[in-house]
Amino acid sequence: MTEAPSPASLLDFSGKVVLVTGAGSGIGGGIALRFAEAGAAVGVAYHTSKDGAQAVVAAIERRGGRACAIACDVTREGEVERMVSQAADSLGGLHVLINNAGTYPLAALLEIDGKSWDEVIAANLRSVHLCTRAAARRMSGGGAIVNIASIEAENPAPLHAHYCAAKAGVAMYTRSAAQELGAKGIRVNCVSPGLIGREGLEQAWPEGVAAYQSAVPLGRLGTFEDVADACLFLASPAARWITGANLLVDGGVLTHRVY
């Protein structure tokens, strides 16, 4: 039987390379920074948030870490292959992939046309497959993949039919990928965040924030670090016998009674 790592080493990512998609802002940026704090070299992938990605890289480098910004449309197969190769070649391998990129549009179900549906499925689900496939091919010595889904994969919200369907697909894709990639030593897990606070959210959606805060047992919105730390755990040796799991990071809001 393999000896378990020491507790002090469980969240040490020194010598590891982590690629985070959608890392130019928000949750993705928070995940990239957190892995860098744990010692990893980080590929900061972005689509439109070039300035944000460069700011994340600069923050990592100021703290003595290594990082590079990589432009990529994760719905395009060729660009995904290039992104993975660039991260691995620039930083020295690939050990962890965080599939965070996605979109979150609002639309009434009867107003969602085929083009809009396909765009949301591509950004939130197709991208997960393309990135997982490309990364797994580079993880010759095993690795870890963490997909960012949503509590809306389990509890739908109005105006989000396409988004909810895509995130439910991510959760099931995670299980399928875990089943097939385990033989390569690659663990695949999923994190499903609840409502995560960000600048301007309370002003833009006061009723939604108030409703969430009244329902959530832990009494607050989530933070980028809450999600990032769940990713750290699932990508680390602390979760070495966990694969195919979906970790809810929602403050317990899905336990809220409905009657």
| Catalytic positions | 163
As to burial, measured by CB atoms within 10 angstroms (0-12 exposed, 13-18 middle, 19+ buried), residue 96 is buried
Measure Cα distances from 112 to 13, 101, 105, 122, 199 in Å.
42, 21, 11, 15, 28
Within 10 Å of residue 254's Cβ, how many Cβ atoms? 15
CA-based nearest residue to 153, from 133, 173, 139 = 173
CA-based nearest residue to 237, from 43, 70, 2 = 2
Within 10 Å of residue 165's Cβ, how many Cβ atoms? 17
C-alpha span between 77 and 83 (Å, rounded):
10
Cα torsion 214, 104, 94, 35 to 10°: value is: -30
**Category of 92 on φ-ψ map: left (φ > 0), alpha (ψ -120 to 50) or beta:** left
C-alpha span between 103 and 134 (Å, rounded):
21
Give residues with Cβ within 8 angstroms of 231, minimum separation 6.
31, 34, 35, 98, 146, 148, 191
Within 10 Å of residue 5's Cβ, how many Cβ atoms? 13
